[in-house]
Amino acid sequence: METLSTHRAHGGAQGVHRHASAATGTEMTFSVFVPPHAEGARLPVVWYLSGLTCTHANVTEKGEFRRACAELGLIFVAPDTSPRGEGVADDPEGAYDFGLGAGFYVDATQPPFAAHYRMWSYVTEELPALIAAHFPADMARQSIMGHSMGGHGALTIGLTFPDRFRAVSAFAPIAAPARVPWGEKALAGYLGDDRTAWRAHDAVALIEDGARLPDLLVDQGDADPFLEEQLRTPLLEEACRAAGQKATIRMQPGYDHSYYFISTFMDEHLRWHADRLRAA
C-alpha cells in the first residue's frame, strides 16, 4: 500500500492511499480518515460508497464528515467507484452512467467488463482485509452508507451481510435499479440479460425476497431531479412497509442530489451509526 497524501484534520489524519488490487487487476485508490485515539485502541469503521462519476475524492473533499468522526471515534473509509487504468473497458459511447466511475458495486460476468469490474469483491472482501491490516480498525464494528449509486451499493451490501454491518444508511439511493434506466443499463451490461441475476443487486428485490436489516435510515431530497425516474424512493418505502422492515425514510424539502444535501445530513447519519456501533 502506498500513501499518496496525509493531512492533519480535527486531531486525526486524513489519508489517501493506493494499492494493487487482486480483485480488479488494477491499481485502486481510496481515502481513510483516522480520528484521534489512544494508543492501542481499535475503532469502529464506517464505509462510504460514492455515486456515479465520483471517486474517493468527492466525499473526502465535500462530505464534511471529519469533525463528527473525530468526536465519535469513527474511521471513515471511501473507496473508488470503479476500476481505472489502461486496458479497463469503458462505455463505448463515453456515457457517464456506465463503465468508468459507474461500477455499480457488482462483480461483472459479461465481457469485456468481467476482467476488471469486480467492485463487489473489492468492497466486501479485499479492501476490508487491507483496512484491517493497516489501520486501527475494529472489524467487529462496521457500518455502511452511500449516495445515489453508492446508496444502492450500501443497501445491497448491508442487506446481504446483515451480521457484518451494525448500521446501514443512504442518501438518495438508487433504490430499485432493476426498474430504472440507470440500473437496467448497468445490470444488463455487467450481469447479462437474465433479470433473476439482478435481484441480488436490487435493494427492493432483496427485501421482497426476505433480506432484512435491524434498522435503516434514508434521506432523500424532494427537489432531486433524479427522484422520479432513477431513484424511486417510494418503491423502497413500499417494500419496507410490506415486509415489516424497520426503516426511517425521510423526504427533505428543497434538497437536491448534490453534496450540499449530503453534507447537511452527514453529521446526523454518523451519529445514528455511532449509536449502533458502540461496543455491546
Of 116, 148, 201, 269, the active-site residue reads: 148
Which one-letter DSSP state was computed for residue 126? I
Q: What distance in Å separates the CA atoms of residue 132 and residue 55, rounded to the nearest whole number?
A: 22
SS (H, E, C) 186-253: HHHHHHCCCHHHHHHHCHHHHHHCCCCCCCCEEEEECCCCCHHHHHCHHHHHHHHHHHCCCCEEEEEC
Which one-letter DSSP state was computed for residue 79? E
Active site residue 202: no
Q: Which set of grid coordinates corresponds to residue 146?
A: 452511500
Of 169, 202, 224, 269, the active-site residue reads: 224
Active site residue 224: yes
Active site residue 163: no
Of 17, 257, 269, 273, the active-site residue reads: 257
Q: What distance in Å separates the CA atoms of residue 226 and residue 213, rounded to the nearest whole number?
A: 26
Q: How many CB atoms lie within 10 A of CB 162?
A: 13
Residue 131 belongs to what H/E stretch? helix 127-134
Q: Which residues are catalytic?
A: 148, 224, 257
